Amino acid sequence: MSNHVEGSSGLNAPGAVFHGDVHLRLGGGDRGTGVTAPETEHLLLRVLQREFHAGASVRLLDPSLVRERRSIADVFVDLLVRLPSRSPAEVGTGDAQRHFVEQYLSMEGPSLRTVLTGGPGQGKTTAVQMLAHVHRAALLRAFDSELLSPQTVTELDRVELALRRLTLTPPAPARFPLWIEADALASYLSGTAEPRRSLWHFLAHRYEHLLKTEVSPSEIRALARAVPTALVLDGYDEVSPRHRSAVLRHVRDFADDMQVDRAHASIVVTSRPQAYGDELRPHAFTAWSLTDLSPEEAELHAAVLAGEGPEGERLLGLFRDAARRGDLPDILNTPLHVALVVSILADSGELPTGRHRLFARYYDHVYAREEGRGGELGTFLERYRGLVDELHRRAAFHIIVAGEKQHDVRGIRADDFAAIAGAVVRDTGVLAGDDETDVVQQLLRFARERLVLIVGVDSDIVGFQIKSLVEFLAAAHLAGTGDERLVRERFRAAAESEPWRNVARFMATAAFETEHLDERDLRDSVITTLAELDSARFSGVASLELRGAELAVDLLADMPELEDRYRLHLLPGADVIADLGHRADRLAASAWGLFDGPRVDELLGLVESAPPARASHGNPWRFLNKLAEQGNQHALRAVRGHLDGAPPAALPRLLLDTAVPEAVGPEHLTVLLRRADPHAVSADSLVRTVHELSDWAWAAWQVMHSGPISRALNGIELEGMWPLSGPLSLKGSEWLESLTTPPDDCHPNWAAWREVAEAARAPRAATFASLARKRTDFDEFSAWRMLPWPVREGLVAARLTDPLDARAWYAAEERWRTNGVRLHDIDAYLRHGALGARVASSGFPFAAMHWVTPGGADQRVTALAGEVWDIWSACRGGDRARLAAVAENLLVPLCDYGLRHGLDTVGAEQLREVIGSVPAECDLTISYESALLALSDVRDDTEFAGLARRLSHRAWSVQSGETGRGSARAVIERARRLLDDATFRSLCRTIAELSDLPENWEALAAHWIAPTDAGHEDWPLMNLLRVDGASPTDRDIARALESASKWDLTELAENNPFWSDGLRARVLDQIQLQAGERWLIHGSRRLDGFKAPAGSALPLARLKLDT
């Protein structure tokens, strides 16, 4: 074989191994780890097969429904997920909904970092379980089938059928899932010495347990370098709040390690929404949220669970009948609830009303099924129902308590369970003739396999498979006392605590659904407690989290048959609804009938009273339209009236959330589009399909949404290896052509879009000259991104001298797609802009290009940098805008790449020449590392001062999710001697905003924050950014805001390395409050009624920010 492949490119490289007729190239050799490629492949196969079998298990199904379906691949249904807007606009209207696995596989890359949030039972774990299962299957397919067990081969066939059923393609590339349960990681980190405290050590420990053999961290790291990986951190919300920062820190360290190793690793974290406050957003993580099931999706889940054949059809028919009941649609909003309903229908054919009763019936159903099986367990369950019920309640309670203290909510250790069982047996007693010790041993023995809902989770751990059932049973334990006062106190304590929130939800629904008169008084206590949770008088700053309102919204959905007099008490006010985010959608679906004319008018008043930039995009408007979608006549009247009276500049934002066609039909929508000002478009959203629109109205509807999705000019490569992205292609702009024939009575600014369409289709110099005069109208991000690349280039060109030929542009696009962008394109662009006929053979519009780091061919990158420099320096006296574009998009990123990877690309002297040659009026963003390189290498003081002044007026940047690397101490000390105060402060502020290195902050403290030289003792920032870890006062912040913007102070506060996480969060909140903002960074809640009085500091101590 060696002789056969000798000389074949890529085959006989180090790390190439063979198995049968499959060749797996686990590249890179051992890189100093001492781990060979064959060893890595052997480890990969062993772990893959073990986890592939474990990951196939179905956790949400009633065992009586499994029948022939043994795998998650048999029953998985992809879930809709809400993705954040891709524009800088506020999150809300612009959010898009896609199916999770499908979307993740289509977007998955080395930089994809995602937090998947969802409520109880929404299917977070199941979704990522299927994602991991699909990746493992794709990797196992690459192995010789003779190496795979029969069980593996059978499961691979199941996955293949599932992919066909879900219309999914196998992932490319396939990734090795590094599956981590967050609570287990937290437990490991807290109980392990520092040298072994890392994700690599945890994974090695986990795989040792899995394989029953020694596995080293270096082996795991070699495996992660050899194949692309996907880190899955499941159950972030199950980690104790005081230990979450440690877990996230190690996740970030893992991501940094993978980047240093140039390894491909995507990351997905799952969490309930109340546990995740967007704390990973600065590290390039985006939050995706699972949505409630629609009735159609609920039926699809039920069909898969019911199965095929006569019995499956009968069961699905029962489900459809039940779903038509008025009280059920709001409950059937999660996969877990659908599974419970199908399970109960399979047993009895009838359903209770309300969420609490549904869980209670499910418990009774499972108990009766296990009891009916007979045998030793059946007899025991028949004799000891009360004892087993109490054991379930106490065990569930202790699991949540243990989860707060020990991070592990999977279950409790067997000896702890035996102690709980012993206490229950002593309290309830045993039947005559039975021995207490024997009964306890029986309970422990049954629990190791299955005791109703208690199962063996691990060899020494027992617990529950579904977290919501734990919370249901724990709620029953807390409410299981005759002391009503104690129950009230327990409910309030649970409602105030994040880990116990869903327990409080079950306690509240139990109080409202009870038939016992002596427990009905608890209803008033629930309503009072929810109101007090959101009152600053009773709850201080914790009231900003709106826990009471969020719980009330859930209760309204849980109890559709609750009397209206209670439902009205639970209904949040209009000002609170404005702050509920997407939870307000659930409120609209479950309580739309409660919103009468006065309540709708109150919501409309909020929309009309807010500033135009917010009123058209806030939650009150979205909520009104959700009510209209449900058929609320008052909301329909309000929406139509507000749209008809809205100014043209507000319509683009309003229309994105408008209920189409429920509130606005095609004809009315066309009228609104003609009135709308297209220059006011600033949000990015999926386009809702509207039938019966004219061609012009359809194109105008696309403009309102910032154009169609997925239309960038992709697949372009420089010299076959350098990917570029960003420019909008002409092929992707064909939808604009319909704008060339606008109606006579449309808004005047539609004329500019007509010229854009004409410039792309039949370009003329006069058209470009007219558009150039309107350049400022297209400076908004959303407008700029809808322009095809020739129009963008024409707007920034000084003048157009070459003939304009759209056919040449289309020919150039085809050439770039097939041959890639070449170095002579850069040369042609610098010399003449390449917008005319010559673009067909040379030239490219780099003004719209985004630079992307090259691959791993370091020697090629070094040579490439030299070639680009030669081309750029030869055109130094040419068009300054083009020089700046190539400098910013090519030379500066090449310099950064060289600094990060130790390569000789663009040197300090060349970089200073670039900075000096780009005029001040041209945009040039330079990275933190490149700026330090340019400043650190200057020998002459005069040259240093001049360069520092130029850089103080330039934008500095860092890579997304990172802070600046490299010491700036020498630069700060030298700048203190040579620069004037204004320039020095500007330079220091920029360094502080981008870097969190302690030595940088020590230098900033000595020379800028708290200078010791005379004349600077009263600098406003002196007491704000202290390196001794002390907390700034309200007065410090108020004085700092007089000399710096809120955003500048926020950037500075986020990077201070001497503050604890808690202190940093409080300072960020204080800055927001002092600036009169309605948003809190730490609390992630909008703030009403807490604005700082004019000319005075807000008494923050009264708000208990330290709690």
pLDDT cut 90: percent of the chain above it? 21
- CA 1034 – CA 1100 distance, rounded (Å): 8
- Whether residues 189 and 323 share a domain: the answer is no
Does residue 252 surpass a pLDDT of 60? yes
- CA 711 – CA 727 distance, rounded (Å): 9
Does residue 714 surpass a pLDDT of 50? no
Mean pLDDT of the 308-316 span: 85
- Whether residues 133 and 256 share a domain: the answer is yes
The β-bridge relationship of strands 176-181 and 229-234 is parallel
- Whether residues 401 and 532 share a domain: the answer is no
Is 337 a member of any domain?
yes
Higher pLDDT, 255 or 470: 470
pLDDT cut 70: percent of the chain above it? 82
Name the domain count of the chain.
5
Is 102 a member of any domain?
yes
Is 344 a member of any domain?
yes
Domain boundary among 458, 480, 502: 480
- Whether residues 198 and 158 share a domain: the answer is yes
Higher pLDDT, 719 or 201: 201
Is 259 a member of any domain?
yes
Domain boundary among 270, 291, 312: 291
Q: CB–CB of 923/888 below 8 Å? A: yes
**Nearest residue to 676 via CA among 660, 708, 709, 699:** 699
Residue 656 pLDDT class (50, 70, 90 cuts) = confident
- Whether residues 370 and 347 share a domain: the answer is no
- Whether residues 95 and 214 share a domain: the answer is yes
- Whether residues 250 and 313 share a domain: the answer is no
Query: Which pair of tokens denotes residue 124?
Result: 């977070």
Domain boundary among 304, 324, 351: 351
> What local confidence, expressed as pLDDT, does residue 1079 receive?
54
Is 724 a member of any domain?
no
Average pLDDT of every residue of the chain: 79
Please spell the DSSP secondary structure of 573-629, one letter per residue.
PHHHHTTSTTHHHHHHHHHGGG--HHHHHHHHHHHHHS-HHHHTTSHHHHHHHHHHH
Q: Which domain holds residue 182?
A: 16-291
Least confident of 248-262, 367-381, 409-423, 566-580: 248-262
Is 789 a member of any domain?
no
- Whether residues 253 and 123 share a domain: the answer is yes
Q: Give 520's Cβ-side CA count (13 Å radius).
A: 6
- CA 994 – CA 968 distance, rounded (Å): 11
Residue 743 pLDDT class (50, 70, 90 cuts) = very high
- Whether residues 459 and 490 share a domain: the answer is no
CATH number reported for the structural domain that contains residue 145 in this entry: 3.40.50.300
> What local confidence, expressed as pLDDT, does residue 696 receive?
95
SS3 170: coil
Highest mean pLDDT among 123-132, 342-351, 352-361, 558-567: 123-132
- CA 956 – CA 971 distance, rounded (Å): 15
- Whether residues 255 and 362 share a domain: the answer is no
- Whether residues 154 and 31 share a domain: the answer is yes
What 3 state SS string does 998-1064 have?
Answer: HHHHHHHHHHHHCCCCCCCCCCCCCCCCCCCCCCCCHHHHHHHHCCCCHHHHHHHHHHCCCCCHHHH
Is 120 a member of any domain?
yes
Is 194 a member of any domain?
yes
- Whether residues 324 and 253 share a domain: the answer is no
Mean pLDDT of the 484-513 span: 88
Does residue 473 surpass a pLDDT of 90? yes
> What local confidence, expressed as pLDDT, does residue 1026 receive?
59
Kindly report, residue by residue over 511-523, the tens digit of the pLDDT.
887 766 555 678 8
